[in-house]
Amino acid sequence: MRREHSQKELLTKLMQKGFQRTDIQAVIDDLAANNWQSDERFAENYARHRLKKGYGATAIRYELSQRGIDVAANNLNDVLLTIADDWLDLLTQTYCKKYGEIAPITCYDWSKRSRFLLQRGFSSSQIQQFAKNLRFIHS
């Protein structure tokens, strides 16, 4: 199965193959008019894929913007909220997949683990909420 592509991705790929930008844009516009290419469909599929991989909303928004998708203009914030049933649950799953079950940890270990969660695109408030469920070992 082939994946969806954003208009920006198609434009970049075809320009690298030596096609002219004006010719490419006309074709892309035609594809979009016939609903064979859709940035919204691409964004939804991409977001679902990244959510399954354990990435948070911040990372997904950034990655979509790198692919030429304007998250605000396409109402993708609502889509992200709909796709992810519970961000805290996703954060917990991501944490447990990486570090195993939730067990008491040192503050030093937590600082490394919280950076990992930030890099995965979870917000500081989500991480702080998750940390309330942890027990810390004072050493």
Q: Are residues 69 and 91 in the same domain?
A: no
Q: Give pTM, 2 decimals.
A: 0.80
The domain tally of the chain equals 2
Q: Are residues 18 and 76 in the same domain?
A: yes
CA nearest neighbour of 130 among 83, 113, 139 = 113
Is 2 inside a domain boundary? no
pLDDT, tens digit, 9 for 90 and up, residues 5-37: 999 999 999 999 999 999 999 999 999 999 999
The CATH number of residue 115's host domain is 1.10.10
> Residue 101 carries which DSSP code?
S
The gap from C-alpha 136 to its chain's centroid, in whole angstroms, comes to: 30
Instruction: Report residue 84: phi and psi, to 5°.
Output: -90, 110
pLDDT band at 74 (very low <50, low <70, confident <90, very high): low
CA nearest neighbour of 53 among 108, 6, 120 = 120
**Amino acid (1-letter code) at residue 49:** H
